[in-house]
A and B are shown apart, each in its own frame.
Chain A
């Protein structure tokens, strides 16, 4: 029973779907960040798998950059979150409706 690219891609897709469910479900901003991490990791698996099965390092390169982006996102995101928390004492998404149209 050989593991093919498709297996990895399906796994990646399932993880991505879990991430999607997370970002839709979570109302706590910190937990929402967790879900975005899941999304990024899911794509990483996809890139690494394609890189492997094609024999091309580009996929891995993209995975690196995605990890870099994830790290920056966490730094900035948490910083903003802290500012918000200091102002309002809440990090609940349902209460952040200042952009109401």
Chain B
């Protein structure tokens, strides 16, 4: 397999295009639209069934939210407790301020073990840090073992969904890719055959790997137990077979106690794959020592990389509740049409639209456009198993983006016509006399555009509206004029 370079995203150096620009490309792709529409509609229906089966779903959501709030408000204590528990259980804890530090720690461990290949179970945190690229540069090849991750790794593409990274690809496209990259002679486009081809290809890698790399869904401060929630068994392979296991986790993934799993292991599977329970969940506590069960060496890398900035924002903080279920993607009408690539981030969809700009910081045109990639319809908040009020955070971040432009932006940003128009309108709305005059002026101003009772073409920034819709002209009499006339 030849290593392919993935396109840059919000976490790569340099700039990314805005959502509007990238979405345009995705929207034109009929195949993608069909793949996405079919997939999201299916999973939405299934999730509804899985959730309706639970009479105490709302109580679970509230408990999950509250527990995350407790954890985040006292994160320093829980981090120290986790370090102590993992160490007591025979593991080694590392701290990484940023992506680069995390990558150096992990590459250092792999090099020390003389590993030229490592096996990896799907971890978005490692996508965020660009670990694979870092390892490759040091001559260490990382094999992605989750089927969808393998597909996009072979294709040299970015993930387009948190849970199903290759959701944008259909079976025919995957068949072609496997024929080309996996050295197989014959292959049908049946998902079963495609899956089997991946199984055979990866089995050898699992048995030979000296180092396994994983992310973590949860880590328990009280016991040091780390867990990986998965379906295919590649997570079990990576966390069990290689003699050395390295787990990278964001510092927000902590839960206080073992018993707290009773909440999250009910919320997560039903919200993500719409199953009562996912096929496999591994819970391990350090190393097993003499029992010889699993790796002899376990390293846990705790990653900040912007998370403490999210924590510092009292409204944004709830973003760190996220358990990466992807329910918000599946219900999002924007995501359903544009897919994940338009977000130019390893975290796409509604959660990505609030997490990405907070992690990388406000002031970058690409990620600053993400809070605007929403009609604020609120479907995401309704399904979020840990009650992240995504619309609220979106609006909050829009405020931060605008204030950043106004206060710290370039001269061009300050002279932005949108800014000027908004200022003028705010002044107009603050005085009924100005407001009434503006209503009259607008009625006159529209005359050049109104034809036969409709407006079909507007200039400048408003042209987007009339590209596909007519605009109703402003009527002769406003409501307040009528009121004054009739009741005044």
The yes or no verdict on A and B being binding partners is: no
Chain B residues within 8 Å of A, Cβ to Cβ: none
Chain A residues within 8 Å of B, Cβ to Cβ: none
